[in-house]
């Protein structure tokens, strides 16, 4: 979401970095100069096992820190670039609270429930739901146009109840700004807040594909042939205090 570029600028602006002539490129683990060349900035080295899956081991040269010794000597508020990348979003928010550009982008990650993700975490290690929420955070950091359609596939996967509420707050922020959000989801906490539901069935896979019910949550809850409606009816009854 662009936060790493801003962090590199912070390190390049330190007195020590200026004295050594280090630019922002020095603090990229994807480019020569500042990265550890033994592992090419990965922090790990791959060992080919031929008939077995390859094994990744921590780089003995940089000990997993991705950068060379000279780059790691540059510090901001007592931390080097590798230590900052090892911070999770919540830690980094406090660390960069006086840098509005960085804090604003980190806040969007916080808003979508990704406090626990480390700044230097590889995108390939994120789950599908996490990757979707990173994309959402990127959209939130942009200037809203109110003319965008967002399609999400089960974004609540792996989320705690409290984080689901954070996600819903974000989705409603997008719709309140005039955008359209289409969510493929089984989670009733999400379904009950939708403006319009399209329930497919009657079963899954080859036995599905038909529209069983559609409309606002209250209308779908009254359709007896809808499995979603049956469970939604219970949830709505509890929320309104009319259920037993």
On whether the CB atoms of residues 154 and 132 are closer than 8 A, the answer is no
Q: In terms of DSSP bridges, do strands 55-58 and 44-47 run parallel, antiparallel, or are they unpaired? A: antiparallel
**CA 33, CA 72: separation in Å to the nearest integer?**
12
Domain 1-86 has CATH 3.90.79.10: no
> Residue 2 above 80 pLDDT?
yes
The residues with which 118 forms a beta bridge, in sequence order, are 88
Per-residue pLDDT tens digits for 156-186:
887 888 888 989 999 999 999 999 999 999 9
The residues with which 152 forms a beta bridge, in sequence order, are 183
**CA 14, CA 26: separation in Å to the nearest integer?**
13
What is the percentage of the chain residues whose pLDDT exceeds 70?
97
pLDDT at 238: 65
3-class DSSP state of 59: coil
Domain parsing of the chain, residue ranges: 1-86
Asked whether the whole model's pTM tops 0.75, one would answer yes
């Amino acid at each position: 979401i662009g936060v790493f570029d801003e962090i590199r600028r912070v390190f390049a602006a330190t007195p020590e970095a200026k004295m050594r002539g280090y630019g922002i490129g020095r603090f990229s683990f994807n480019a020569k100069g500042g990265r550890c060349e033994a592992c090419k900035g990965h922090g790990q080295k791959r060992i080919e096992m031929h008939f077995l899956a390859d094994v990744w081991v921590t780089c003995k040269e940089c000990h997993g820190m991705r950068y060379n010794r000279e780059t790691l000597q540059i510090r901001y508020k007592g931390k080097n670039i590798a230590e900052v990348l090892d911070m999770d979003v919540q830690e980094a928010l406090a660390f960069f609270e006086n840098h509005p550009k960085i804090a604003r982008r980190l806040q969007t990650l916080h808003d979508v429930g990704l406090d626990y993700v480390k700044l230097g975490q590889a995108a390939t290690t994120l789950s599908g739901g996490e990757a979707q929420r990173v994309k959402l955070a990127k959209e939130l950091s942009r200037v809203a146009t109110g003319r965008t359609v967002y399609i999400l596939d089960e974004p609540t996967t792996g989320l705690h109840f409290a984080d689901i509420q954070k996600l819903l707050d974000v989705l409603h922020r997008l719709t309140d700004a005039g955008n359209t959000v289409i969510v493929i989801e089984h989670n009733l906490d999400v379904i009950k807040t939708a403006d319009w539901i399209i329930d497919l069935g009657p079963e899954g896979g080859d036995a599905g594909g038909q529209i069983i019910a559609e409309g606002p949550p209250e209308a779908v809850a009254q359709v007896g042939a809808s499995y979603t409606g049956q469970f939604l009816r219970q949830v709505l009854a509890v929320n309104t205090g009319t259920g037993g």
